[in-house]
Structure 1
Amino acid sequence: MPATVVRAAEPDVSRRAERLEFRFGDPCDPANPLGFRALLAADGERELLPAAEDLLDQEGFGAELVPAGLGGRLGDAGGLMRMLRPVFRRDVALAFGYGITSLFAAAPVFAAGSPRQRETVAGLLASGGRAAIVHRSLAHGTAMLRGELTAMEYPGGRLLDGRKDVVINAERAGAVVAYVRTDPAPGSQSHSVFLVEPDRIAPGGMRVLPRRSTTGMRGCRFAGYEFDACELPADVLVGESGAGVRLSLRTFQLNRTLITGAMIASADTVLRAAVRAALAGGNLGRRQRGVVAGVFADLLACDSMATTVLRALSLLPGAAHLAAADLKYLVPELLRDDLEELATVLGAGGYSRETDQGMLTKLLRDLPAAGLGHAGTAACQAVVIPQLPLLARSSWGREEEPSAALFGAGSPLPHLDIGSLQVAGGGDPLAAALTASAARLAGSAGRGPYDDALRTMAAAFLADLYEVRDSCRLIEPGDRAALVSPAAAALADRHAVLSAVGAALGMWESHRHADTFLADPAWLVLALHRHGRRLGLRFPALPPDCVDRVAAELLARFRAGRSFDLHDVALAEAGTT
């Protein structure tokens, strides 16, 4: 089916995101009933801030989670990420507890459900209702992922049995999307997806379990479900029987990229707090300047990767799966490292409801509960590692460079079609972008410290990609022992960093003639220098003014009250003079 192009969606999304940001108000104002002080107080009571949920209701935020073709406002995933950032900037738990997990539940229905199922779930979300998701049991899972449901057919429908102890919004969900074992045999066709509507269930078949306390995202309502010979209607199956694993792999691409991209706004909050703390005692010292400038460069590089992958979901739905897994694999780790660096500037104080250290501590607790821990890493490795031997033989060094539209943040995108997302094949567009950028830089005539630095670093990253290629060619596709080895995991680590490099180079090249800071090579050089350290590459010293140029932009944005991401948007937080 041909894609529908959204021509005016970007300005509309920008206006909506700005309106939401300013309706939330200055989060640092202690008198703001929607500010950090109120959010931390609610977290201390293990609740989401009611006034914040009321605001999202007033804004009709649920419609942001519904595809435009079903009457909602979701055009492309990048636009939704921008709408999520004002919420993530303030409270990860609010973003999850209010409703982003409803989209994750609804995604399989939007991708493969019947017209009735899609209309039902779209109407629920658009009206402010919640949908809950019951995952299948996964290896290396946390408590959120353990437990399994099973189903058997009978003449009038299906009987559902099993228990899942930790489900977000279980108590207030108007629909439950469950990954259910429908075949006892192991394999890729063992699970199916069911749309369970509580108001269509006979009494006694479905029981909501008591709320569970959690260390992270304490305000979210985690409870569970127990099904005991629960009779389901015949029309609960979403898509085909046995398609659950494939549907999860297809739709998790959207989940991974949205969470990771939106989380950059949470790190923005901590970086802003660190700058504020450092300036409280006077000007930034040399060490502090290096820390905050480095984290700022990281955020721009992380946003380059997130924005590129989110655009790929619309532009390259058959090839986005690899980059989506790399994004979720790498960027949370980068952000955690950045938060640890910022803690040295903020001071590693204890949890306080009234301080910036309190927001940092809360975020560090919330990250694992948001799926940015071991279970998420293992799931991403399971996507990336099996593809590396195939890419080494067919793609790296041969694949055509992706279109510049992949990096053009302002150009129109087709509507996101969740059903068109694939789980294998399609090449490696970010590695191709790295290859092409390195070739252009090698052939450029520019002379100067930044030209020299970019040429040197791009050539080193390209050489590392070819070393990864040579190592991956030694692995036979399908060699299970080799694919689960520590060596394969190390290759996946390197590939993820190289993908991030390709995204950063592509983003800079697409903006190098623009009248914005993204055209300045200083942020790119600093970000690539930090990426190189992760790979153990040895680079010459940074150009003498590199850190100062990045820090100057950081301070200018801080004082003007503007965001530290690619979009450089106005924030409700008051700037300083």
Structure 2
Amino acid sequence: MDMPESVVRRGGIGLRAEQLELGLGDPNDTANIFNYRQQVECDEASELPEQAMSLMRKFGFPAFMIPASLGGALDRPEDVLWAGRVAARRDLTVTLSFGSTLLAAMPVWLWGTAEQRTRLAQALVSGSLGGFAISEAEHGSDLMASDAVLVSSAGKVFLSGAKWPIGNATRGDFITVLARSPGASGDGFSIVCLFKADLPADGWTNIPAVRLHGLRGFDLSGVKFSDCEIPPSAQIGRDGLKQTMKTLQVTRTMLATFSLGSGDSALRLALAHLRSRELYAKTAYDIPPIRRQLVGSYLDLLIAECVARPAFRAMSALPGRLSLWSAISKYLVPTLVEDVMADVGEILGARKFMREGPWYGMFQKLLRDNSVVSVFDGTTHVCVRAIAAQLSVVLERSPKGIDEAGDAMAAVFSFSKGAVRWEPDGEKLQLTNRGVDEVGQNWRHAVTMLGAGSSAAVTSTTAAAIELLVRELDEEWGALRKRVAGLRAADPAFASSAEMDDASRMFSLLWAASACLQTWLVNREETGGDFGAGDWLLGCLQRIMHRIRPFDHVQGLAAEADMLRRYDEGLMFSLEDFPIAR
């Protein structure tokens, strides 16, 4: 596989991701191997699209799973953001087969020895798949209740227990396992990375794959170990439970790319169909409620991107923030894209249910496949709980000292400066943010920057509308702080209450508003054009306020022209100009 020493970038976009997009070709063209009709046919047969998998390997997708220090193309976190969107807009079954492999590899990148990293990098280059065996049938997300156990005897190490359900457990060549490791000081946990070729044939067996509602060709199966002797060198670092929780911070962040890619295809399909379909002597797109609904879906994708970007960049620039930011991204991005799917499905009407029709019935597959993203690496409920656990401390912290976080904000929001190079180091990740959240706590400073002056590209009408929305959002920030403080004063167990879940969901929306505003403030002068004009920001803030106060705020048609321009010019539905092969 060709792995260049450096990856050329235009803004935040790696040239390698653009090459992947163009190499895979137009998914609507059945002459291309990776096309929608082929993906739907494989899905109907519950088969993994092997030809598409091979093409992904040919054009270097496995390189995006390998750090640049080991010869891969995972140079900066955004490389995965863009490459994942390229793959996911075509097929989530294929994308998650590779994504599960990256999840399994991540503990090795973060804590593995030089020998472990080198061997795994070589395996991925050769096309190997893998899975991270965390879950158990009886315990779900309760990792502390794990029954899988490592036992040392006479200088040898043995593994027993069953893990299920696990992505790529059967197809994978390696599997990374979280298991209990009893010791003199009590039970601990360890992570081991096992290559199946190293294991005795009678020491393990696969648990058959389950049939799925979506991702029908995806290998979601399990593995059972029975006094299976494993190489002593398989253990990765120490304290497997903390390592797993930190690993999930990274992989939860990366899952946003799958939702963004799926949402792009759903909106693109809807626009293609509705702009060519005649109803009532006009195109279906010209019907006002349909236009507004499609623009709303476009804005949801932009909001999701603004949420995902700082979380991705934090992996290298501010890894200590991921405990909170990854949970916000993992909760909010799939939720927003599920709303995109619902809106597009409502507009398509009866065609929503058809496994034939526009794009060979691809919307049905997109709808089913995307619904799984919110479950992987921590369900929506788990992520909201993770936000609730830190919310009180984060909201109580004074913004003083955060207001001057200009360097941090540039590192996570700037298009032109690019993200900091990623050097995997699990010790830089933290189990909590320790009360620091520059994106949320920098809201007041962002409001001050907005009031200090506006870009010449912004019309007075747009500027006034943005300022009004910002004032209303500022009121919501204040109300949320009072609400959480009241909950804390009334109940010692407030952090685990249902009311705190509600507060966490509200906080995530306000955090998204801050991310949108700061994305614009950091880039408006240098980027200019439609971005600098701010219509997209106005639309995103309207959309967020409509979610907060649905009866007081109606999302309008701000950014409609930008949505149509991106569709007509063959650009991804994004804030950056990423060309697609249509």
Q: Which moved more, 1:87-96 or 1:430-439?
A: 430-439
Determine what percentage of the aligned residue pairs are the same residue.
26
1:235 counterpart SS class? helix
Matched, 1:408 2:410: no
State the partner residue of 2:271. 275
1:536-575 aligned within 5 A: 536=549, 547=557, 550-573=559-582
Shift of 1:152: 2.1
CA distance, structure 2, for counterparts of residue 220 and residue 144 of structure 1: 24
State the partner residue of 1:311. 313
CA distance, structure 2, for counterparts of residue 352 and residue 184 of structure 1: 54
Per-residue Cα deviation, 1:255-275 (whole angstroms, up to 9, x for no partner): 112111342121111111111
State the partner residue of 1:22. 22
8 Å contact kept, 2:259–2:373: no
The normalised TM-score by structure 1 is 0.89
State the partner residue of 1:431. 440
The code of the aligned residue for 1:117 comes to Q
Per-residue Cα deviation, 1:208-262 (whole angstroms, up to 9, x for no partner): 233332222111122221111112222222111xx22211221212211211134
2:275 counterpart SS class? helix
1:288 alignment partner, one of 287, 290, 304: 290
1:66-465 aligned within 5 A: 66-97=66-97, 99-137=98-136, 141=140, 148-183=147-182, 190-240=188-238, 243-280=239-276, 281=278, 282=283, 284-349=286-351, 350-356=353-359, 358-372=361-375, 375-396=378-399, 399-400=402-403, 401=405, 402-419=408-425, 420-425=428-433, 427-444=436-453, 448-465=460-477
CA distance, structure 1, for counterparts of residue 138 and residue 488 of structure 2: 24
The code of the aligned residue for 1:559 comes to D
1:369 counterpart SS class? coil
Per-residue Cα deviation, 1:145-180 (whole angstroms, up to 9, x for no partner): 997422222232322111123222222322210111
Shift of 1:471: 2.9
CA distance, structure 1, for counterparts of residue 12 and residue 485 of structure 2: 47
8 Å contact kept, 2:64–2:73: yes
CA distance, structure 2, for counterparts of residue 40 and residue 21 of structure 1: 20
8 Å contact kept, 1:37–1:353: no
State the partner residue of 1:526. 539
The code of the aligned residue for 1:247 comes to Q
The code of the aligned residue for 2:133 comes to V
8 Å contact kept, 1:144–1:166: no
Taking a change above 3 Å as real, the CA distance of residues 186 and 358 of structure 1, as seen in their structure-2 partners, is: farther
The code of the aligned residue for 1:481 comes to A
The normalised TM-score by structure 2 is 0.89
Shift of 1:351: 3.3
Taking a change above 3 Å as real, the CA distance of residues 485 and 139 of structure 1, as seen in their structure-2 partners, is: farther
Q: Which moved more, 1:73-82 or 1:516-525?
A: 516-525
2:161 counterpart SS class? strand
1:195 counterpart SS class? strand
Taking a change above 3 Å as real, the CA distance of residues 210 and 538 of structure 1, as seen in their structure-2 partners, is: closer
CA distance, structure 2, for counterparts of residue 487 and residue 192 of structure 1: 35
The code of the aligned residue for 1:317 comes to P
Matched, 1:489 2:495: no
Q: Which moved more, 1:525-534 or 1:417-426?
A: 417-426
Q: Which moved more, 1:144-153 or 1:554-563?
A: 144-153
CA distance, structure 1, for counterparts of residue 581 and residue 14 of structure 2: 14
8 Å contact kept, 2:8–2:16: no
Shift of 1:337: 1.1
Taking a change above 3 Å as real, the CA distance of residues 516 and 424 of structure 1, as seen in their structure-2 partners, is: same
CA distance, structure 2, for counterparts of residue 336 and residue 185 of structure 1: 48
CA distance, structure 2, for counterparts of residue 554 and residue 168 of structure 1: 35
8 Å contact kept, 1:136–1:145: no
Taking a change above 3 Å as real, the CA distance of residues 540 and 493 of structure 1, as seen in their structure-2 partners, is: closer
* Structure 2 residues not aligned, in runs of 5+: none
8 Å contact kept, 2:252–2:377: no
Shift of 1:55: 0.8
The code of the aligned residue for 1:238 comes to I
